[in-house]
Amino acid sequence: MEKKMLNGLFVLCIVSMPFLFKGPKMRENLVIFFSKGVLATLIDAYVVGSKRVEYPARPFPKIFKTNIIYDMLFFPLLSVIWVKQSYNDNLGKILLKSLTWSIPMSIGQWYFEKNSKLFKWKKWSPLHTFGSVSFTLFTIRGFVALLRRLDKLKNA
């Protein structure tokens, strides 16, 4: 069942890519996507390496100890949507909107940890997920804000 779920997530990510990477902000969206992929992979490698989480069901288990579909496709695509959603917002709205991402992700991971073999929490909890999702959302959002300021300075 887990393999089917991972294959479904992979297909969903691939199908959504053309819709997310079109338009005048394609370059920015690609930067968001790849930056989040690097950040998620580094954090997940630490979390798995320190034996806080393990992924019993994952693609290429002999090569990767993390789930590369989460780290390199799913979370980066969600970050592209997140930045689009919060593109013109002030800090208060960004904080509020971050809850619409971090709370469902925490609840969803808790549910799947209890009801599937996609991952196993050892020294992890929904609060850790909430913190790590929030941290990466704000890190990527801050990175995008920095890039925008640098672009404005360059074009001024």
Closest CA to 105 of 128, 123, 129: 129
Task: Give Cα separations from 61 to 17, 37, 65, 67, 116 (angstroms).
Answer: 25, 19, 6, 9, 17
The pLDDT score that the predictor gives to residue 46 is 96
Q: What is the DSSP letter of 135?
A: H
Question: Which 3 state secondary structure label does DSSP give 53?
Answer: strand
Q: What is the pTM of this model?
A: 0.89
Q: What is the pLDDT of residue 1?
A: 87
Judge whether 82 and 140 are in contact, CB under 8 Å: yes
Residue 154, pLDDT score: 81
Domain span including residue 55: 2-155
Question: How many domains does the chain contain in total?
Answer: 1
- Identify the pLDDT of residue 17: 92
Could you state, in chain order, the average pLDDT of each consecutive group of 10 residues for the chain (156 residues)? 92 93 88 95 96 95 94 95 88 90 95 94 95 93 89 80
CA angle 57, 100, 152 (to 5 degrees): 105
Are residues 130 and 102 in contact, defined by beta-carbon separation less than 8 angstroms?
Answer: yes
HEC assignment per residue over 119-145: CEECCCCHHHHHHHHHHHHHHHHHHHH
Helix (H, G, I), strand (E, B) or coil at 148: helix
pLDDT for 99 equals 92
- Distance set, CA 33 to CA 5, 20, 155 (Å): 22, 10, 24
pLDDT for 23 equals 83
Nearest to 5 by CA among 76, 44, 58, 73: 58
